[in-house]
Structure 1
């Protein structure tokens, strides 16, 4: 997983922390790939990992330089596996990102640089009997029976262990099996029971900690060099440590040299293809692994299961290449392959037949292409239209005529138009011709049957395909207004039933049907564009209108809404009234004073001047709101409007004066109510708020003889950025007024004085108020503006 530059830049891990993290993770047995991914996630770069690797190597060098030879061997044994894994993680803190298109990849080349396949030797397996001991190996000698003892020692650099009462015993170069037999003879001098025929005393040598060996990986690998590996390591693990082969390295001829002699030749393809591991031998001290350049690299593309490049050995054939590629894909043309070959001067094309695949040797640079089969049929027939099983059929000895094909398709459907079918035929030059077919006569046997050819398409139309049936539609006061498929003899009542019946609000005295004018024989245009029929209904049946009337395709039915139908309309009153709650309106002219009277009148604590009316916005009002906001967006910009929080809302506040409405019922102050209105009658609030560009926003007790300046003084006076001439007041009922001069009449209980700020240069409050007036007394708009200004 690649790290983002931001995450890498924010890495907070020091080099020492990275080193400690890797050491701890290895001691806890964490997966190397997980640790590498975590380091990359924490921002550790490849450069930092290289620094930490050098730090780790220096640390190991300092520590071992102060030890004796035996101590150094012990240290190497303890840390051999950990060091190998630690450097592996540090060398690759980020997963390999070398990705190529599959056809450009060389098969098997990535096997030694994947994080999931390390070939690391397991430390939990029993010691193989043929394991050859050497300096640095820790051996455990267990003695049991009539005597009990355990000897645990490390083979010294001179190849010996020191056994008490016996002295140095040379084990270097012996296999574990040979060492067991040798120790029986040596220890038999001290433990006499070892030679007893009854086996009263037994001895067994096993390996404790394996030694570290040094091997050299040379040739065409990513990172050639000398590597310290566990003595259990094999050729594949060494190749993994070296990063795998490079772009010219061979996977088919990896050589292991020991003491100047080649002891193994490894073909990695045998492991990948067949799972063979006998050539993946265990390495010994001083072994040299040589990866030569490949002899031949061949590419196969097209319709094979594994299109990519493959390394080929001498005398391997095209059949071998196909096997390496996983065989042909299902749509491959297998009878021949195209090979592009270099002849030393230029390219040449060879077409290799299937019979020659096993005898055609591959050469370096060959490019093989497997084509796809042709996208055509040798014996296809098709029948479409009014048969029970339309589709594709086989042209054979039984199905080779029109009658046989129709019978194979399970016969004609009832709506089949049999007087004339269409047979589409492909000529030799791939053009098509149309042949008319009298299916009725052929099926009846009165006309000769027509022979079929490959790729013939027989189309038998339905009578419905040949006429424009259309739909009928119903609108208005029905349960499911929609378009419905037309049927012969469909009546108005039938369509109403299909639409779920009439709604409660439907008018039964007028149902209109509109019909388009159709005159296929007309030779001139007319002014008429349609016909209209009107009907009356009773109990779902037509009682007035054209008798025997049936619908025609494309008719439109309109069920009108009864003008006398009215659903209940409710309004609500809350606050300081005797009986607050929801009330049903009884007339379309019900007013504020009527609602208060229904609620038993106002209480003695009611403050009628502060009453507020909240109204639900209808579609027209919302449209006007959107129009105003769009206009303001163009004037001030969307960013300004977003910051003001001005938006289309479902409700708005209507400025009212309930005190005057109650005093003058039916007057212009006594507004007509609308469904959903909520009238809120508050208690007297004898305070005044001061907000905006003042020294200290404050709430002050209301005094009837004080003007605006008094309340502003109670807030510390104007701030430096105050627009003194633009101050205004918002009343409890939602109304807004400018404050001019020293008038005290503008100040009422519960109101809020707002002083705008000069910093809002981009928007003029007066302009916004002017736009907002288009809403029709939308006090909510002004409250939003005041909240913005005081921020």
Structure 2
């Protein structure tokens, strides 16, 4: 079967009986052979026959001997069989044969590293057995090779290592004797760059490709600016700063100064103001400042009931709501100015404070409830404004200063009032001029059993919130919302968050809490 020969293959006929007797010997071979497994052997067959069944040794097998683990009826024994005895050594039932791998070492290996044209591993031979021959085999030294001293790492007989200094320049010139090599020698020829910290220079700020660049001798500020892709449109041409380390290798005391700073003016990328002939040094840091007179467009949006809705670029950093409405052509005759609201993009500081609020709320109410409510930081929030007062008194306190990303929405008139919170049936009802809060609560079935009547409040369309005072007749406006909070024995965030669903978004609540935490 192993050889694919079928001349002795008997054709079976009806009524034939095939008897498969038990094996005589079953042995196992492991390790570095091509087919390691169990094999059935006949009595008297040798280790050579087993190796033949196993396909022979693999390429990394140690072929000088094999190891046999044998059971003698009382205990285990180990037998080492040399290669000349493979054919004579007879196997027994239960034998386990192990074939080891070759040693992980070389008997003729040389290596050269460093400043040569072809570093790598070479063969120790009759024609390659000295330092000079090894360097020539690697095609010689590079131009930056440090020839004053090379290092030869050598392995002793006891496998410890030693370092031998080599005068590589003297050997190549013939003024110093050549050094004979041994197996596993490693020759390292350093580069002058390995022995000298060349460092880098760094440029940041208003350049197209800020970052760190490799230092080169006689590198000027202009060279680095060009390497960094040139100046941006926003770069200042009158203020480019260079900071430099103070180095004193022979110093023995801590200096008073820890750095030097230089300032330059540029024109068309060239230095026109500063130290003449200034050259950079390793680890210099260059800062290209932003021009204080350069500003990118800052856009805001006005939407809703204005004549010319859309995006507008602010003319000044102090432009206000009234100016934006004027530039948009004023409000339309259908506009409900008191209900106008401002949507603002949170800056980094506001986002950080809102994140702190979210973490605090999560600690109070737990992650599960926070996830159910969808409690997370939103990048925008509503700012409570009074556009009617802003238009009546431009430049006054109500006339808010705008900032980038603001969206001002002037809605249509909305003559409904929403009743929410701890009432029998939350409802939206028609606005009736002069009616008290009690009237609107009755439209929602009145208070529920757990209502906190004394702390009801009103949320207006413009995002402002007011506590109900007295009957609240003068406080009710079209489009507003009356909220009755639940009774709680003590203040807790669960109640705050549950009531916060009445806001335009949770971000409004978070922004309000974040403002209170300042």
User: What TM-score do the two structures reach when normalised by structure 2?
Assistant: 0.91
C-alpha contact 1:645 1:784 (8 A) present in aligned 2: no
User: SS of 1:359's equivalent?
Assistant: coil
The answer to whether the 8 Å contact 1:735/1:779 transfers is: no
**In the TM superposition, what are the counterparts of 1:67-216 in structure 2 within 5 Å?**
none
Measure, in 2, the Cα distance between the counterparts of 1:319 and 1:691: 94
Q: 1:280 to 1:586 in 2, by over 3 A?
A: farther
Selected match of 1:315 from 39, 44, 49: 44
Q: Equivalences for 1:303-452 in 2 at 5 Å?
A: 303-452=32-181
**Shift of residue 290, structure 1, vs aligned partner:** 4.5
Distance in 1 (CA, whole Å) between partners of 2:35 and 2:471 is 93
Question: What residue in structure 2 maps to residue 538 of structure 1?
Answer: 267
Q: In terms of mean alpha carbon deviation, does 512-521 or 300-309 score higher?
A: 300-309
Matching residue of 2:513: none
Tell me which of 517, 521, 524 is aligned to 2:250. 521
Instruction: Name the counterpart of 1:284.
Output: 14
Once the two structures are TM-superposed, the CA of residue 766 in structure 1 deviates from its matched residue by 6.6
Secondary structure of 1:464's partner? Answer: helix
Shift of 1:393: 0.2
Q: Check the 8 A contact 2:244/2:261 in 1, yes or no.
A: yes
- Cα 1:281–1:503 change in 2 (3 A) is same
Per the alignment, do residues 426 and 492 of structure 1 end up closer, same or farther by CA in structure 2, a change over 3 Å counting?
Answer: same
Aligned equivalent of 2:377: 648
Give the match for residue 781 of structure 1: 506
For 1:214-273, what per-residue CA distance to the aligned partner results, in whole angstroms no more than 9, with x for missing partners? xxxxxxxxxxxxxxxxxxxxxxxxxxxxxxxxxxxxxxxxxxxxxxxxxxxxxxxx3x77
Partners of 2:53 and 2:410 lie apart in 1 by: 89
Shift of 1:452: 1.0
Q: Distance in 1 between matches of 2:490 and 2:38?
A: 70
Are 1:734 and 1:780, in contact at CA under 8 Å, matched by a contact in 2?
no
Structure 2 CA distance for partners of 1:282 and 1:738, relative to 1, 3 Å: farther
CA displacement at 1:664 relative to structure 2: 1.6
SS at match of 2:352: helix
CA gap 1:765/1:378 in 2 versus in 1, 3 angstroms: closer
Sort the Cα spacing of 1:484 and 1:459 in 2 relative to 1 into closer, same or farther, 3 A.
same
**Would the alpha carbon gap of residues 332 and 740 (structure 1) be closer, same or farther in structure 2, given more than 3 Å must change?**
farther
Alpha-carbon distance in structure 1 between the residues aligned to 2:137 and 2:125: 12
CA contact (8 A) 1:477 1:561 kept: yes
Please tell me whether residue 632 in structure 1 is matched to residue 361 in structure 2: yes
- Alpha-carbon distance, 1:695 to partner: 4.1
Is the Cα–Cα contact under 8 Å of residues 342 and 409 in structure 2 kept in the other structure?
Answer: yes
Going from structure 1 to structure 2, the CA distance change for 1:691 and 1:423 (only over 3 Å counts) comes to same
Question: Counterpart of 1:586 in 2: which secondary structure?
Answer: coil
Which residue pairs with 2:218 in the alignment? 489
Kindly name which structure, 1 or 2, has the bigger radius of gyration based on alpha carbons. Answer: 1
Check 1:603–1:307 CA distance in 2 against 1; reply closer, same or farther (3 A cut).
Answer: same
Q: For structure 1, which segment, 746-755 or 525-534, has the greater mean C-alpha deviation from structure 2 after superposition?
A: 746-755
- Identify the match of residue 498 of structure 1 among 214, 224, 227: 227
- Choose the corresponding residue for 2:426, options 691, 697, 714: 697
Please show how residues 592-611 of structure 1 align to structure 2 within 5 Å.
Answer: 592-611=321-340
1: distance between equivalents of 2:59 and 2:490?
A: 73
Q: CA offsets, 1:26-54, max 9 Å, x none? A: xxxxxxxxxxxxxxxxxxxxxxxxxxxxx
Shift of 1:538: 1.2
Which residue of 585, 589, 593 maps to 2:318? 589
Contact 1:609 1:658 in 2 (8 A): yes
How many angstroms apart in 1 are the aligned matches of 2:95 and 2:72? 10
1:599 Cα deviation from its structure 2 partner: 1.0
Larger mean CA deviation between 428-437 and 542-551 belongs to 428-437
Distance 2:296 2:497 in 1: 39
Shift of 1:706: 1.8
CA deviation map 1:134-164 (0-9, x unaligned): xxxxxxxxxxxxxxxxxxxxxxxxxxxxxxx
2:391–2:399 Cα contact (<8 Å) kept: yes
2:207 to 478, 482, 488: 478
How big is each residue's C-alpha offset from its partner over 1:693-734, in whole Å with a ceiling of 9 and x where there is no partner?
Answer: 444433211111222332232233344555545543322112
CA contact (8 A) 1:316 1:361 kept: yes
Give secondary structure in 1 for the equivalent of 2:193.
coil
Partner residue of 2:386?
Answer: 657
Deviation at 1:465, TM superposition (A): 0.4
2: CA distance, partners of 1:276 / 1:760: 96
The alignment partner of 1:672 has SS state of coil
1:469 CA drift (Å)? 0.6
Answer yes or no: is 1:564 the counterpart of 2:293: yes
Alignment correspondent of 1:301: 30
> Could you list the runs of 5+ residues in structure 2 that have no partner in the other structure?
511-518
Worse-superposed segment, 712-721 or 456-465: 712-721
Q: Residues 715 and 492 from structure 1, CA distance in 2 versus in 1: closer, same or farther, beyond 3 angstroms?
A: same
**2:515 match:** none
* Deviations, residues 405-452 of structure 1 (Å, cap 9, x unaligned): 111111111101111101111222222222211111211222221111
Q: Partners of 1:713 and 1:321 in 2: how far apart?
A: 101
Instruction: Please give the alpha-carbon distance, in whole angstroms, between the structure 1 residues aligned to 2:352 and 2:457.
Output: 28
- Alpha-carbon offset, residue 313 of structure 1: 2.4
CA distance in 2, matches of 1:664, 1:573: 20
Q: Do the aligned partners of 1:514 and 1:555 also contact (CA within 8 Å) in 2?
A: yes
> Which has the higher mean CA deviation after the structures are superposed, 408-417 or 420-429?
420-429
* In structure 2, distance between residues paired with 1:769 and 1:744: 27
For the residue of structure 1 that corresponds to 2:87, the secondary structure is: helix
Distance 1:458 1:328 in 2: 36
What is the rounded CA distance, in whole Å, between the counterparts of 1:281 and 1:362 in structure 2? 33
Q: CA–CA distance in 2 between the matches of 1:513 and 1:275?
A: 86
Please say if 1:676 is aligned against 2:405.
yes
C-alpha distance in structure 2 between counterparts of 1:769 and 1:659, whole Å: 31
SS in structure 2 opposite 1:710?
helix
CA distance in 2, matches of 1:756, 1:283: 96
Rounded Cα–Cα distance in structure 2 between residues aligned with 1:593 and 1:280: 108
TM-score, reference length from structure 1: 0.61
d(CA) in 2 for partners of 1:395 and 1:729?
93
Change in 2 beyond 3 A, CA 1:351/1:294: same
CA distance in 2, matches of 1:536, 1:732: 54
Identify if the C-alpha distance between structure 1 residues 697 and 288 changes in structure 2 by more than 3 Å, giving closer, same or farther: farther
Structure ranking higher on relative contact order (CA contacts 8 Å, 6+ apart): 2
Task: State how far apart, in whole Å, the 2-side matches of 1:783 and 1:465 are.
Answer: 60
